[in-house]
Homo-oligomer: A and B are copies of this chain.
Amino acid sequence: MAKRATIRDVAREAGVGVTTASNIVNQHPGSSYKAETRGRVLRAVQTLEYSPNWSARTLRTRQTLAVGVVVSDLLGNYFSDLIYAVEKRLDAHHYQILLCQSHGDPVIHERQIQVLRERNVDGLLVQIVHASANNALYRRLEMTTTPIVYFDSKADLADMTSPLVESNQPQLTRLAVDHLWKMGHREIFFLSGSPHHINARERREGFLQAMSECGVPSPEGYIVEAGYQEEHGQQGFQRLWESRKPFTALIASSIYCGYGVMGRAREMGLKIPEDFSLVTIGGGREAARMGLTDIDQNPQLIGETMSDLLLTLLHDKNSKPQANGTAPTGVSLPLHHRIEPMLHIRQSTQEPKAQSRVGARAAK
């Protein structure tokens, strides 16, 4: 291919100065040119198939119109839904997204962020993973002027200045409890995620509070340590089963956990929802397909919120305090955004039949 035309070529072709060409091409505000000149330049652009060199432009303007997105993994549709929304939103504002996966490794996580910053991205969207292990990283990032929006979880940091978007974690379990309780369930067990995970702890809190408010004296007994994966669901269900505790409803920490429960239940000849009801958390479209009552985290809305926050940060750098110590001068936008989850009632929950308390029957 012939060498790409430069702005100088355009200027020469149109018989104008390079400033003129540049201003006209970029529709520089506050510059006035005769229609005829403008026409000549535009025609030159056409004939030479000129398009500006992005590197040169960003070198000069220090604006890449790119934002980095760091996510642990793209597997599963939670993050792909989220990124779907982010891409759509940012694209509308002519921002490109640079996608990175950290595969759950704190070291890679940090490296990816580092690389993105060296690439001069205008902003970052980073999932918070291993809040404790990466604490130093997040603290360092806070010293930076790079606009950042975090998501999915909280960092251990006391005074964050960057906004954070996540699900209203306690509400996830609370919605599930309320739904089941209203249906008449009284023995509701929660197969919780790993206790190391702060989100899991919050969901646990939500569960305990909701149960308390319903009048359950010591709800702690209704928590089963499980995890987010299918095997955790299996193991958790197994343990619950062997404990002989009676139950009529289960809340699974994730849809995978839910699958584990369903698998074991089937093996044991138990039917859902006839023998017990099941609510999953964050199952998305997959839960819909499976007819599972589910608490929707609304990843799309999360993505949109993140994008909007980042866009305002990008648009008005002042909203983030500069690291040199001066106070924020712009509008201070709220830092912690909790996206409200939604309950989708489907076929995996129904009113309990008194005689079908699973554990009780097993204990007979």
Contacts and interface: CB of A to CB of B under 8 A. Distances in A.
A75 B81 contact: yes
A8 to B, nearest CB: 15
A80 interface: yes
A130 interface: no
Interface string A143-162: 11100000000000000000
A286 interface: yes
Interface string A320-347: 0011100000000000000000000000
Interface string A60-83: 000010100000011111011101
A289 interface: yes
A47 interface: no
A243 interface: no
Contacts of A323: 1
Interface string A35-77: 0000000000000000111111011000010100000011111
A100 interface: yes
A144 B117 CA distance: 31
Contact of A100 (B80, B91, B116): B91
A361 interface: no
A194 interface: no
A52 to B, nearest CB: 7
Interface string A112-147: 000111111000000000000000000000011100
